[in-house]
């Protein structure tokens, strides 16, 4: 009825109130899970990554000062954990390279196809062809509707780099998407 603010829940969680933390998790777990699912294209990995993000968020909870919204702060951590996830999977591969082997293995995952909608499948397939850095910018731009400045702040890069990555990503997506509806 009276929804507590994120800041209140954070304070209560820091004071040791488990129910406040669970409420906070329930509030954002869906968005975070869908984000991780889009980023890693595998439900099991997405689940692991989401839990990893929540663990990192809880451990850094005391550093949250409330200057920026909790959601943005949490997703910033999520981006870093996502990049770490890719680095851990393929330590030798650059984040600007297409994670070919990784994506190929996920194409065969029936569970992912079961949870994916028909309309979104084409987009997901197309996004798999993008390098992690470009995929991250496309995610922030089109799924989370961030401006260039916000993306640059969240990823800690310049606006020009964001634009460059986005345009490169769009150029790659163009080859894998159909433009029938346009």
Partner 1 sequence: MSEDKKLTSEKAFEKWLDRSDLVEDEQSQQVQSNTNTNEETVWQERLKTAQTVEHQVSLEAEHKVPHWDRSAAFESDKSPWWQWGGLPAMSMAFSMFAMALVLFKVELVMKDDGVLLTFAGSTQAQINQVSYSQEEINVLVDAKVDQKLQRFASEQQVILANYVADIKVKQQDSNLQLASYLIGATRKERKEDMGDFVQYINDQRADDSLDNKIKFQQLENEINYQAIKTQRTNYQPKTIKSQNSDGLGLTTKPASWTSEE
Dist. CA 50–CA 79, nearest whole Å: 11
- Least distance in angstroms from the C-beta of 92 to partner 1: 30
The token pair that represents 68 in the structure block: 């920026």
> And the tokens for 117?
């909608």
Q: What is the largest CA-CA distance in the chain?
A: 54
Phi, psi of 108 (to 5 degrees): -85, -5
Asked if 30 touches partner 1 (CB under 8 A), the answer is yes
From the list 26-34, 79-87, 89-97, 101-109, the region that binds partner 1 by CB under 8 A is 26-34
d(CA 45, CA 51): 10
Q: Which of residues 88-147 bind partner 1 (CB under 8 A)?
A: 115-117, 119-120, 122-123, 138, 141-143, 145, 147
Is the distance from CB of 152 to CB of 162 less than 8 angstroms? yes
Which positions touch partner 1 (CB under 8 A)?
A: 13, 16, 18, 21-22, 25-26, 29-31, 33-34, 37, 43, 47, 50-51, 54-55, 57-59, 115-117, 119-120, 122-123, 138, 141-143, 145, 147-148, 163, 166-167, 170-171, 173-174, 177-179, 181-182
């Amino acid at each position: 009825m009276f929804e507590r603010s994120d800041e209140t829940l954070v304070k209560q969680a820091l004071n040791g109130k488990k129910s406040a933390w669970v409420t906070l998790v329930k509030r954002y777990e869906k968005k975070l899970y869908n984000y991780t699912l889009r980023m890693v294209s595998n439900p099991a990995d997405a689940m692991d990554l989401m839990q990893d993000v929540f663990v990192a968020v809880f451990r850094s909870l005391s550093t949250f000062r409330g200057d920026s919204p909790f959601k943005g702060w949490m997703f910033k951590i999520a981006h870093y954990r996502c990049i770490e996830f890719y680095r851990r999977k393929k330590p030798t591969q650059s984040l600007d390279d297409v994670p070919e082997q990784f994506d190929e293995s996920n194409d065969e995952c029936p569970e992912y196809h079961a949870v994916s909608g028909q309309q979104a499948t084409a987009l997901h397939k197309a996004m798999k062809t993008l390098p992690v850095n470009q995929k991250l910018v496309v995610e922030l731009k089109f799924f989370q509707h961030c401006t260039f400045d916000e993306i640059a702040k969240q990823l800690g890069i310049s606006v020009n780099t964001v634009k460059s990555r986005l345009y490169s990503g769009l150029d790659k997506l163009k080859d894998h998407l159909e433009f029938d509806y346009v």
